[in-house]
C-alpha cells in the first residue's frame, strides 16, 4: 500500500481545525477593515442625510429632469443638482471608493478624509471659490428699435479676464444693446461699456471700472484632451447667478452652422449642463483657467430627436485672437470683420470618405473646409466658389483643424483681397476674392 495516501483520524482533525482557525482569522480581518472604513465617517445623530460633499445616489429623477428641460426652471434646477453630484465624484469622494476595503486602508494610511468629510479640500470647490467671483451676469436692456418698439432685456454671463476690467461674453448676449449692466456674484451691480463685438465668432468684449472681485485667467485650449474634467459657471436661466455644473470634454474641433453664411468652428463639446443664461460664461479647467466661452446647448436635433449633454464652447485660442483684435482695433472688428458668404464643415477623414473628397494626388483629403452652401450675391459666389469645393488655404495659410478658416480670417478685414486655394473634384486651383462685410449688421 502506498503510505503517501494514508490519513489518520487525528491528522485529519488537526487539518480541519487549522482550516477553521484560518477562516476565522480572515473573517476577523475583513470585519476589522469594514469597521475602519465606516468609523472614518462619524454618523450624525438623528440625521440620515449623507455627509456634505459625499456623492449622492443617482435616482430616476434625472430622467424626469431631461423631460422638464423643455418646460421650466424646475427641470433645469434638477439638472444642476445632478451635475453637482458629478462634481463630488470628481473631487475624489465617490461612494464606491469608501465601500472598498483596500481603498479604506489606503486612505487611512495616507491620513486622507474618507468620503469627502472636508469638502473645502476638493479641487472643484477650491477652484470655484478662487475664480467664481470673476464670473458676472450680463443684463442687456435692448434698444426698442431692435425689438420692434417693445421694452425688453436679455441676460447672459461673462468673465472678467484682466486687471483692466475687460469682460468676455457672447455677441448674442449683447446684440441690440441700449444699456449694459453686470451683476457680480454678491449681487452688486455696475454699468458696463461695450468695447467691440465679432458676430462671426459670437464674441464680445465689455469693460467695467473700479475694484474687481476676481480675474479669470485665460488658459490654452490647444492642450485639452477628450475626457478631461471641465466646469461651467454662469447665470442659469438668467436668474441663478454663478451656477456651477461639471462635466468632461466630450469632443474637440466641432462645427455648427449659425445661418446667414456663418459657421462656428473649432468648438469644444462638453456634457456640462449649458442652460439659457449660461451663454458667455466661462468653461474652466481644474486650474481655474478659462479654456472656453460657453455659447450654446443643443436640446433637440431634428424631428422628435431629443439631445442630452450636448453643450458647446468657443475655445480660448479663438477667444484670445478675437479679444486681441477687438482691443487693438478699438472695437473695429464689429464693423470691419470679413465676410465670405459660405457655410462650411471642416474636412476630416470621415467627411472625406463620405463625400469622396480627394486631392490632386488621388489620395483622400484630411484637412480643409468643405463648402456646403454659398450665399447669393456673396463674395464667394462672385469669386466662383461652388458647393462641394474644398478651401485648402487662404494666402498660403493652410486650413487645418488647429488653424480653421474662421481663425485665419480674424487677421483680415472687409475689403481685403485674398487668394484661395480650392480643390474641386480632385483638381487644385486658385480663386481671387475681395472679402465683404457681413450684411444686415
pLDDT for 268 equals 96
Q: Tens digits of per-residue pLDDT, 191-209?
A: 999 999 988 889 999 999 9
Coil, strand or helix: which one is 402? coil
Q: What's the mean pLDDT in 410-437?
A: 92
Torsional class of 261: left (φ above 0), alpha (ψ -120 to 50), beta (otherwise): left
Q: Are 84 and 236 in contact (CB under 8 A)?
A: no
| Annotated catalytic residue within 157, 250, 279, 317 | 279
Judging by beta carbons within 10 Å of its beta carbon (0-12, 13-18, 19+), is residue 131 exposed, middle or buried? buried
| Annotated catalytic residue within 98, 157, 166, 172 | 172
pLDDT for 359 equals 93
167 has a pLDDT exceeding 50:
yes
Helices (H), ranges, 240-347: 316-328, 333-336
440 has a pLDDT exceeding 80:
no
Q: Measure the CA–CA gap between 436 and 418, rounded to whole angstroms.
A: 11
The question of whether 12 is a catalytic residue gets the answer no
Coil, strand or helix: which one is 321? helix
Q: Tens digits of per-residue pLDDT, 66-83?
A: 333 333 333 333 333 333
The question of whether 202 is a catalytic residue gets the answer yes
Read off the pTM: 0.61
Q: Measure the CA–CA gap between 294 and 288, rounded to whole angstroms.
A: 15
> Band of the pLDDT at 11, cuts 50, 70, 90?
very low
156 has a pLDDT exceeding 90:
yes
pLDDT for 49 equals 43
Domains, the chain, ordered by start: 63-111+124-315 (2.40.10.120), 337-437 (2.30.42.10)
Q: What's the mean pLDDT in 27-38?
A: 51
The question of whether 17 is a catalytic residue gets the answer no
Q: What percent of the chain has pLDDT over 70?
A: 68
pLDDT for 301 equals 62
CA distances from 282 to 159, 209, 334, 428 (A): 6, 20, 22, 41
386 has a pLDDT exceeding 70:
yes
Amino acid at each position: 500500500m502506498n503510505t503517501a495516501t494514508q490519513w489518520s483520524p487525528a491528522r485529519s482533525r488537526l487539518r480541519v481545525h487549522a482550516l477553521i482557525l484560518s477562516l476565522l482569522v480572515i473573517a476577523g480581518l475583513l470585519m476589522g477593515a469594514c469597521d475602519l472604513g465606516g468609523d472614518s465617517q462619524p454618523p450624525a445623530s438623528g440625521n440620515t442625510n449623507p455627509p456634505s460633499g459625499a456623492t449622492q445616489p443617482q435616482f430616476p429623477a434625472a430622467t424626469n429632469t431631461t423631460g422638464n428641460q423643455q418646460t421650466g426652471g424646475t427641470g433645469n434646477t434638477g439638472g444642476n443638482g445632478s451635475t453637482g453630484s458629478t462634481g463630488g465624484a470628481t473631487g475624489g469622494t465617490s461612494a464606491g471608493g469608501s465601500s472598498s476595503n483596500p481603498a479604506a486602508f489606503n486612505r487611512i494610511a495616507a491620513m486622507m478624509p474618507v468620503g469627502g468629510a472636508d469638502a473645502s479640500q476638493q479641487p472643484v470647490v477650491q477652484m470655484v471659490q478662487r475664480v467664481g467671483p470673476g464670473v458676472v451676469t450680463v443684463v442687456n436692456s435692448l434698444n426698442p428699435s431692435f425689438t420692434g418698439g417693445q421694452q425688453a432685456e436679455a441676460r447672459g454671463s461673462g468673465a472678467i479676464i484682466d486687471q483692466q476690467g475687460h469682460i468676455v461674453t457672447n455677441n448674442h448676449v449683447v446684440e441690440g444693446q441700449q444699456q449694459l449692466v453686470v451683476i457680480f456674484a454678491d449681487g452688486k451691480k455696475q454699468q458696463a461699456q461695450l468695447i467691440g463685438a465679432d458676430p462671426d465668432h459670437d464674441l464680445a468684449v465689455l469693460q467695467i471700472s473700479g475694484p474687481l472681485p476676481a480675474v479669470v485667467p485665460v488658459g490654452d485650449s490647444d492642450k485639452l484632451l477628450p475626457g478631461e474634467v471641465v466646469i461651467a459657471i454662469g447665470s442659469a436661466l438668467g436668474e441663478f447667478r454663478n451656477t456651477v455644473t461639471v462635466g468632461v470634454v466630450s469632443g474637440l474641433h466641432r462645427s455648427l452652422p449659425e445661418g446667414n453664411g456663418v459657421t462656428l468652428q473649432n468648438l469644444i463639446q462638453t456634457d456640462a449642463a449649458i442652460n439659457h443664461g449660461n451663454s458667455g460664461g466661462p468653461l474652466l479647467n481644474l486650474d481655474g483657467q478659462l479654456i472656453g466661452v460657453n455659447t450654446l446647448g443643443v436640446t433637440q436635433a431634428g424631428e422628435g430627436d431629443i439631445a442630452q449633454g450636448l453643450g458647446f464652447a468657443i475655445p480660448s485660442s479663438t477667444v484670445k485672437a478675437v479679444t486681441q483684435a477687438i482691443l487693438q482695433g478699438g472695437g473695429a472688428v464689429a464693423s470691419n470683420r470679413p465676410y465670405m458668404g459660405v457655410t462650411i464643415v471642416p474636412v476630416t477623414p470621415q467627411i472625406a470618405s463620405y463625400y469622396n473628397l480627394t486631392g490632386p494626388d488621388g489620395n483622400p483629403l484630411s484637412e480643409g473646409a468643405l463648402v456646403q452652401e454659398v450665399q447669393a450675391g456673396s463674395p464667394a459666389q462672385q469669386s466662383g466658389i461652388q458647393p462641394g469645393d474644398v478651401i485648402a488655404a487662404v494666402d498660403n495659410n493652410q486650413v487645418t483643424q488647429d488653424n480653421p478658416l474662421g481663425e485665419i480670417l480674424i487677421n483680415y478685414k472687409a475689403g481685403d483681397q485674398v487668394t484661395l486655394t480650392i480643390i474641386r473634384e480632385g483638381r487644385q486651383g486658385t480663386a481671387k476674392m475681395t472679402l465683404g462685410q457681413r450684411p444686415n449688421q
